[in-house]
Amino acid sequence: MASFQSQESTDNSQFVKHVSLSGLTGGYANEQAIQAYRSILSTMEEKLIMLQLNNINNVHDIPISRTQNLINDMKQIIKNDCQHSYVENDYIDISPDTGRCITYCEKCFSTFD
Ligand SMILES: [Zn+2]
């Protein structure tokens, strides 16, 4: 990737621009892309639950592990690519007796400690 970023030739300007917009050099994903990410994430979460519910004799252990890794990667991608719009100190109930304040992004719903 570094070789693409260091390309200075005007002939490659279109390509360099494309690479920078893809997020590889820290560009942000727009709202449509974040929604696409979140849709992919929720589908993976549904499939994970389906595999867990049908994991008789641990037949799905490896696919479950791989799906969990994909979900974690997708969450990280969303967190990295979203230009967050922070909502601070929103109080969430953990149980009837306890709750805590969190910061989350109203675009991608990532949470922050
Ligand atoms: Zn966000």
Q: Round to whole Å and give the CA distance between 106 and 16.
A: 31
* CA 28 – ligand 1 centroid, Å: 10
Q: Round to whole Å and give the CA distance between 70 and 73.
A: 5
* CA 1 – ligand 1 centroid, Å: 25
* CA 26 – ligand 1 centroid, Å: 14
Give pLDDT, residue 26.
57
* CA 102 – ligand 1 centroid, Å: 14
pLDDT digits (tens, 9 = 90+) for 64-112: 999 999 999 999 999 999 999 999 876 767 777 777 788 999 999 998 8
Which pTM value belongs to this model? 0.67
Residue 92 pairs in a beta bridge with 100
* CA 56 – ligand 1 centroid, Å: 37
pLDDT band, residue 43 (cuts 50/70/90): very high
* CA 90 – ligand 1 centroid, Å: 15
Give pLDDT, residue 93.
72
* CA 51 – ligand 1 centroid, Å: 28
- For residues 91 and 101, the answer to whether their CB atoms sit within 8 Å is yes
Distances (CA, A) of 3 to 7, 19, 39, 75: 6, 11, 33, 28
Give pLDDT, residue 110.
93
* CA 101 – ligand 1 centroid, Å: 17
Whats the size of the chain, residue-wise?
A: 113
The mean of the pLDDT values for the chain is: 81
